[in-house]
């Protein structure tokens, strides 16, 4: 059997040979997480982060990717955030508000707007908070992101137990001032859980709730779109 496997044509990718497959990554901005992920986030395509609830620091973890996209003169897209985003705090976190677009609507419209943005070529990084995606919805978003060289982060309110056609899936959960991070699907073998802790992440987690404000006190930036 081993001889049969070893005789497979070299162009056929084997799940156990991650190191043999050249891949490109983008730094997460946290050394410990970069080391754990063996380089950082995939340069493009969909990354699903399964969470037990929204708002415990997941956006803070993704801020470096959003800022990196804006350096290339592309927009960062935030779709269906679980609360109104605070423009001033986003600016203080390093985001260029003129290149940050927020979309809030019903699920069908959110998915449509997100897919169109990915296909436009002007979006380099996007975050979509969701209650769960169907197989077809996940596949459409993955194709749109990968074919247009965009990083798409899906913050999904589930435990990751159902199968989705996504190349990278992880579980995130808060533990004190740390984030438990477990990659259970990727190109290669799964990774054991790790507890991410750094002074930079700790500062972000402490400031995370400032990114969201009560909707009645929100100062709306010009580039917040509520689709009907």
Going from the N-terminus, what domains does the chain have, and what CATH number goes with each? Answer: 41-226 (3.40.50.300)
* pLDDT band, residue 199 (cuts 50/70/90): low
Q: Is the pLDDT of residue 190 over 60?
A: yes
Q: Which of 43-47, 161-165, 199-203 has the highest mean pLDDT?
A: 43-47
- For residues 168 and 30, the model is more confident at 168
Contacts for 187-191: CB closer than 8 Å, 24+ residues apart: 187/13, 187/15, 187/18, 187/21, 187/23, 188/15, 188/16, 188/17, 188/18, 188/21, 189/15, 189/16, 189/18, 191/36, 191/37
pLDDT given at position 171: 93
- For residues 147 and 159, the model is more confident at 147
Average model confidence (pLDDT) for the chain? 81
Q: Could you report the per-residue pLDDT of 56-76, keeping only the tens digit for each?
A: 878 888 988 899 889 878 999
pLDDT given at position 126: 97
Look at phi and psi of residue 96 and say left if phi exceeds 0, alpha if psi is from -120 to 50, else beta. Answer: beta
pLDDT given at position 216: 31
Distance of alpha carbon 115 from alpha carbon 38, whole angstroms:
29
Of the chain, the percentage scoring pLDDT greater than 70 comes to 76
Q: Is the pLDDT of residue 25 over 90?
A: no
pLDDT given at position 169: 95
Q: Could you report the per-residue pLDDT of 78-127, keeping only the tens digit for each?
A: 999 988 888 888 888 889 999 999 999 999 999 999 999 999 989 999 99
Q: Is the pLDDT of residue 50 over 60?
A: yes
pLDDT given at position 187: 84
pLDDT given at position 81: 92
pLDDT given at position 17: 46
DSSP string computed for the chain = -HHHHHTS-TTS--TT-GGGS---EE--S-HHHHHHTTSSEESSEEEEEE-SSS-SSHHHHHHHHHHHHHHTT-EEEEES-SSEE-HHHHHHTT--GGGEEEEE--HHHHHHHHHHHHHHS-EEEEEEEES---HHHHHHHHHHHHHTT-EEEEEESS-S-S--S-SEEEEEEEETTEEEEEEEESSSS----EEE--HHHHHHHHHGGGGEE-TTT----TTEEE--
pLDDT given at position 135: 95
- For residues 169 and 217, the model is more confident at 169
Distance of alpha carbon 228 from alpha carbon 109, whole angstroms:
8
């Amino acid at each position: 059997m081993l001889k049969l496997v070893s005789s497979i044509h070299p162009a056929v990718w084997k799940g156990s040979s991650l190191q043999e497959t050249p891949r490109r990554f983008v730094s997460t901005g946290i050394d410990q997480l970069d080391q754990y992920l063996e380089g950082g986030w995939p340069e493009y395509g969909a990354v699903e982060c399964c969470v037990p609830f929204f708002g415990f620091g997941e956006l803070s973890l993704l801020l470096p990717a959003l800022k990196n996209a804006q350096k290339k003169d592309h927009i960062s897209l935030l779709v269906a955030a679980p609360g109104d985003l605070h423009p001033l705090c986003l600016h203080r976190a390093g985001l260029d508000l003129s290149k940050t677009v927020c979309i809030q609507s019903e699920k069908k419209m959110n998915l449509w707007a997100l897919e169109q943005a990915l296909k436009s070529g002007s979006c380099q990084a996007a975050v979509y908070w969701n209650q769960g995606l169907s197989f077809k919805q996940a596949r459409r978003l993955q194709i749109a992101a990968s074919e247009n060289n965009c990083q798409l982060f899906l913050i999904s309110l589930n435990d990751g137990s159902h199968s989705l056609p996504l190349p990278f899936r992880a579980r995130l959960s808060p533990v004190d001032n740390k984030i438990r991070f477990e990659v259970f699907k990727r190109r290669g073998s799964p990774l054991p859980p790790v507890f991410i802790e750094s002074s930079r992440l700790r500062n972000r987690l402490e400031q995370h709730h400032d990114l969201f404000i009560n909707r009645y006190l929100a100062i709306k930036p010009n580039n917040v779109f509520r689709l009907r």
